[in-house]
Amino acid sequence: MNRIIISIVILVVMSVGCFISVGVVDSFAEKVLAKIDEVEKAYEEQDKEKSSKAAKELQDEWKDFTNMAILVNDLGHAVEITSSIAEVYSFAQELNEELYAACDRAQAQIEMFRDMQKPTLWKIL
């Protein structure tokens, strides 16, 4: 009987941890997507300093997040996002019009990353 109780407790703790992780990833993704929008807005205003600063903050936030690798299921995808964010930073420093494409790519990858973290029946099976 004790084994069943311990198994149920472990299952509950793992489930709670899973949903907390999903919540953290979801809120972080929203924060990063807002920062990408800030970079694009600064570019539209042709404000190189503000655009570069926002892109650097974006890069730092992403780096800090990936250091908490316990929340990340797919580190290969995280490397691709890191590359896209580096492109955003590079294009923001130069006020290069390729910034829009890099931002769109980073946003799409972050959306996919967020969706991949959500538990579904198909992923469990």
Helix, strand or coil, per DSSP, at residue 120: coil
Q: Has residue 60 got a pLDDT over 70? A: yes
Domain boundaries, position 51: 2-124
Average pLDDT in the chain:
85
Residue among 102, 73, 74, 70 nearest 88 (CA): 102
CA–CA separation, 106 vs 45, rounded Å? 21
What is the chain's percent helix, strand, coil content, to nearest 5? 85, 0, 15
Q: Quick one: pLDDT band at residue 116, thresholds 50, 70, 90?
A: confident
pLDDT in the model for residue 99: 86
| pLDDT for residue 71 is more than 60 | no
**pLDDT confidence tier of residue 47, bands split at 50, 70 and 90:** confident
Percentage of the residues of the chain whose pLDDT score is greater than 70: 92
> How many structural domains are present in the chain?
1
95: Cβ contacts below 8 Å, ≥ 6 apart: 43, 46, 48, 51
User: How many angstroms separate the CA atoms of 112 and 106, rounded?
Assistant: 10
Q: pLDDT, tens digit, for every residue of 3-39?
A: 899 999 999 998 888 788 888 888 888 999 999 999 9
In this prediction the pTM is: 0.79
Judge whether 98 and 2 are in contact, CB under 8 Å. no
Domain of 35, CATH number, reads: 1.20.120
pLDDT at 105 over 70: yes
For tokens 């996919």, the residue is 112
